[in-house]
Amino acid sequence: MKSDVTKKGLERMPARALMYATGIPAEVMDKPFIGVVSSFTDLIPGHVHLRRLERAAEHGICAGGGYPLLLSVAGVCDGIVMGHGGMHYSLPSRELIADMIESVVTGHALDGMVMLVTCDKLVPGMLMAAARIDIPTVVVTGGPMLSGRYQGKRLSLVRDTFEAVGRRQAGEISEKEIAELELEACPGAGSCQGLYTANTMACITEALGLSLPGCATTLAVAARKDRQAYLSGERVLDLVREGKSARHFMTKDAFANAIMVDMALGGSTNTCLHIPAIAHDADVDIELDAFDRISKKTPHITALRPGGDYFMEDLDYAGGIPAVLNRLKDLVKDCPTISGATTAQIAAAGEVSDDDVIRAVDNPYHKEGGIAVLKGNLAPDGAIVKQSAVEPEAMVLEGKAICFDSEEDAMKAIMGGKVKAGHIAVIRYEGPQGGPGMREMLSPTAAIVGMGLSNSVGLLTDGRFSGGTKGPCVGHISPEAAAGGPLGLVEDGDTIVIDIPNRLLEVKIDAGEMEKRKAAWKPRPARIQKGYLARYARMVQSASTGAIVV
């Protein structure tokens, strides 16, 4: 066992003494030491319930013949830090999470891990750590939140709070309704109810083969979630005995399955950052173009919020990820999973109980998957759009640029009515390096939707979007403005074309004018000069790489 390096031999006597000081009995020293890696915190609704799952996982580990050892990592809630300086820390926190787990688990030479995790950057951060450490690992995602209720209607966070801000600004709803919505939209523990980044990453984790079948969609409040945590604790001991580490499951074919499920669901654009970063730590090469290639051959078969009207609870009741795999069974690559069943076996066993929530591949919501990769003179290295959340009339959009050098300036202009139909709003210097931290632009995009402009206003950014974004919003534009990318050369009034079917993002100025502007461009001083974010800005790579840190 890996942990023997800390437990066996005369020279390890001081280490054993320190372990006994924590309450570890001498009688368990011959058992595998299993880390219960928890992201419990009082700060995030997706994590407030993980204490009970910790207990269930510990029981399962003991039943399986191991000894559980709890360790914790911190996180931030994207919804709470959105729209202000706190959002700079969201994406960079992914690296801290992975680094912390790597440091503690490797330093203490644990034999396996059960990871308890729910939200946006925590799931990919933990998966990155699992890939790096490469020991037997089972992931238990914490589950979606129940939908809210108000006057007989179901509620979700993005549509009924972020977008409600724009509707209130447009005078469509009252102060009373705003007050009720903010109390009722999020009724309790779990990840926000639509196919936003947290739930998308949970579905990807299951499709990748690192969670038990059904785990991704099981509601946070369900007793089934406790049983999954218990069984995951038992199962990790089987993996320890079988010698099957995380990378045994994190193969190139498994990543292809994960991307395919993402495309079929119409998941968050943030997966174009997280999947390549996880694959990088697993020594698997996943390039950005893979998303577009897989999207073109994968039908979009669900319509969950924000692009549709269904909720994660509907996907769960319809059969969850096993049912999605069943629909895609002719496209699924057969890979091992931590459950002991292969993806083909899980797909064969999956059952669809609602043919509209999870449609057949010959009756999809869209013929192509959820994400498209655009290129052109504004994005030589690529840009991302969630095409499944764009209405047909906005799939090709031409308009005049109105430029902002920060999210705050853009939001002020949108709320002040300065962004109008026919505009393409450009928000730049918000990339991984320039932000720093590549902030999400949910507040501006949701305000545009709430004000009824989602089909007549485009938005371009070298930042990124929440999984809750909809409309012709193009992010991850690479190279970013801070690195001298073309987005920094756009001027107010330039004509911009967003052509999603033809995968084109272009500004209509000739090459000579572009070169003239490039020669005159000068790098801007870093926004943040000290602390973690300053270090992050110096080390982070382009969004087209997954914003990896090297």
- Please identify every residue annotated as catalytic: 466
Amino acid at residue number 511? A
Distance (Å, whole) CA 137 – CA 155: 35
Tokens of 403: 């430029």
Tokens of 67: 């000894």
Classify the C-alpha dihedral 129-217-289-390 as positive or negative.
negative
Distance (Å, whole) CA 476 – CA 440: 10
Q: Which of 69, 352, 312, 70 is nearest to 199 (CA)?
A: 312
Residue with tokens 């911009």: 496
Q: Between the CA atoms of 6, 7, 12 and 16, what dihedral angle is there, to the nearest 10 degrees? A: 100
DSSP-derived secondary structure letter, 549: B
Total Cβ atoms within 10 A of residue 418: 13
Radius of gyration for the alpha carbons in the chain, expressed in angstroms and rounded: 23
Residue 57 · residue 36 · CB < 8 Å: yes
Long-range residue pairs from 451-455, CB within 8 A, at least 24 positions apart, any chain: 451/166, 451/167, 451/169, 451/170, 451/414, 452/170, 453/419, 453/420, 453/421, 454/391, 454/394, 455/391, 455/393, 455/394
Q: Which of 55, 57, 8, 14 is nearest to 31 (CA)?
A: 8
